[in-house]
Amino acid sequence: MSYQIAGAEWCPWSQRQASELGCTTVDGKTTCKATQENKQVEFVWCQDKNRQPINTDHDICKKINEQTVNIGGYPAWFEDAEVADNMGGFMDPCQVPGMDKGVLNCDMKEAANQTCKQAQEDARQATTELQKELQESSQALEAEINQMKEAKLGPLLQRLKTETEPFQLTCTTAQEAAKPKW
């Protein structure tokens, strides 16, 4: 069993698939560094950047262009020149049976993925701790501001009360005097 992959130059997933397989195109010929069961993986571009057919003499591209196969999109995986079951769209080459994991650096990719997962978890924990610290600091600052308000404004409020009391007393006295005496 060997896989062939059909791609379209306009399709970003095809571009990514070619990159993941270590494929390069020189003078219209694409070669890939990835191997499967000691055979070089075959990748063929079937449409150009303008969605026009290319490599029309290749069996897979011919089938796609003549619509004798339904690929459902690019990249399309073929097994022995037939559309591969359960192998559509972008595939992580490290998950494809028979691929040479060493050439693809699968162990290093897995280690990098684990490092990223750990870094994300560490960042999540640090963020949670910082949010808690920020909330506590904010509450402490609010309490400190309230104390400062009381310290600064308390005497002024007392003075205002003291200085306005005679006016209030005058008003109250006048109102009392104006009440009818029954």
User: For each of the chain's 182 residues, which pLDDT tens digit applies?
Assistant: 567 889 999 999 999 999 989 899 888 788 888 888 778 888 999 999 999 999 999 988 998 888 888 888 899 888 776 666 656 678 787 877 777 777 777 888 888 888 999 999 999 998 998 899 999 999 999 999 989 888 888 888 888 888 888 888 898 898 888 888 87
Give one word for 89, left, alpha or beta, with left for phi > 0 and alpha for psi -120 to 50.
Answer: left
Beta carbons of 107 and 91 less than 8 angstroms apart: no
Could you tell me the pTM of the whole model?
A: 0.57
Which residues neighbour 16 within 8 Å (Cβ) at sequence distance 6 or greater? 90
Beta carbons of 44 and 6 less than 8 angstroms apart: yes
Q: Which of 69, 80, 85, 95 is nearest to 42 (CA)?
A: 80
- Give phi and psi for 174, each to the nearest 5: -65, -40
- Give phi and psi for 69, each to the nearest 5: -130, 150
